[in-house]
Structure 1
Amino acid sequence: MSDPYQPYGAPYGEQPPPGYGYGPGYPPPHQPRNDGLRTSAIVALVLNLIAIVTCCNFVAIAGAIMAGLGLGKVDTEPENARSKLVWAWVLFGAGFLVTIGGFLFLGFAGYLDDNG
C-alpha cells in the first residue's frame, strides 16, 4: 500500500490529501492598547496629589479628580478619558502657575516691606 501523502519530489500528477475544514481563520480584532493614555492618567493623578500635599494647591484637587475619572475610562471610553486628562493637566499647570505667582508676590511684598 502506498503512502497517501505526496512526498517531496514526487512525480507530477500525484495529489496531496484533501484539506480538512477551513483552518484556524483570522485572529479576532483586538482592542487598541491605551498604555500611553493610562500612563498619562497615572502621572497626572500622582502629580496632582503631590501638588495638593506639598504646595497646598487647591486647584490640584479638581485636577486629581479629573485624572482619576480619566483613569477609570481609559479602557471603555478613550476619547472621554483623553478629554478629562487634558483638563487634569490644565488644572495642574494652572495651580502650579498660581503657586509660583503667590511665592513671587509674597517675596516681592516682603522685599518692599523691608526696603519700603
Structure 2
Amino acid sequence: MSGYGGQPPPGWQDPYGGQGHGAYGQDPYGRPPPGHGYGPPGVPHASVGNGGAIAALVCNILAVVMCCNVLAIAGIVTSAIALGKAPGDPRSLRTLTIWSWAILAGAMILEIALIILAVAAGWTTDSGSPDYTSTGV
C-alpha cells in the first residue's frame, strides 16, 4: 500500500475505504484515487544498511595485504563503489556488495588451488640441501 517502503501507522484508515471515487470507482478526470500508490504522510523510507559493503571492503583489503592476493583488488574497487552508492541507490549497493564477496571468494579459491598445485608439483622443496637417499650414505 505504501510507496515509502513501510506500513501505515497503526490506526490509520484510508478515508476512501480503499475504493476509487466517482462513477464505477473512477475519477472523471483520469486521476488516480487519493491515497493509492503514495501511502499516508509521515511513513519513513526503509533504511538501507551498508555493513555488508564495509565488511567486504575490509576482507578484500586483508586478502591483498596478508595473502598477497592481487585479484582481490577488484573486490576493493567494487566495495568502494558500493559504499559511494549507498545513500541513493540501494539496489546497486546490494548488487555491488554481492559482486565484491564473489570476487573475494573466487580469488581465495584460486589462491588455494595454486598452493595445492605448487605442493603437488614439488615447487616447495628445498633444492639447496643434499639428497642422501640416492648415495646410499
TM-score above 0.5: yes
Cα RMSD for the two superposed structures: 2.1
Q: Which residue pairs with 1:49 in the alignment? A: 61
**Structure 2 counterpart of 1:80, one-letter code:** S
Q: Percent identity, please.
A: 31
In 2, the alpha carbon distance for the partners of 1:29 and 1:105 equals: 57
Q: Which of 88, 92, 115 in structure 2 is aligned with 1:103?
A: 115
Match of 2:44 in 1: 30
Cross-structure match for 2:87: 75
Bigger Cα Rg: 1
Unaligned residue ranges in structure 1 (runs of 5+): 1-25
1:64 aligns to 2:76 (yes or no): yes
For residue 29 of structure 1, give the secondary structure of its aligned residue in structure 2. Answer: coil
SS of the residue aligned with 1:107? helix
Q: How many Å apart are 1:31 and its aligned residue? A: 2.2
| TM-score (norm. length: structure 2) | 0.58
The residue identity in structure 2 corresponding to 1:76 is G
TM-score (norm 1): 0.67
2:115 and 2:122 map into 1 onto residues whose CA distance is 10
Amino acid at match of 1:51: A
Q: CA deviation at 1:27?
A: 6.1
Counterpart for residue 11 of structure 1: none
Counterpart position of 1:19: none
Higher-helix-fraction structure: 1
* 1:55-80 deviations in Å (ceiling 9; x for gaps): 11111100011011111212210001
5+ residue gaps, structure 2, are: 1-39, 127-137
Structure 1 residue 85 displacement after superposition: 0.9
Q: 1:28 is matched by which residue type in structure 2?
A: G
Counterparts of 1:79 and 1:55, CA distance in 2: 31
Could you give the per-residue CA deviations for residues 80-105 of structure 1, whole angstroms, max 9, x where no partner exists?
11111111011000000011011111
Letter in 1 for 2:73: I
How big is the shift at 1:29? Answer: 2.7
SS in 1 for 2:122: helix
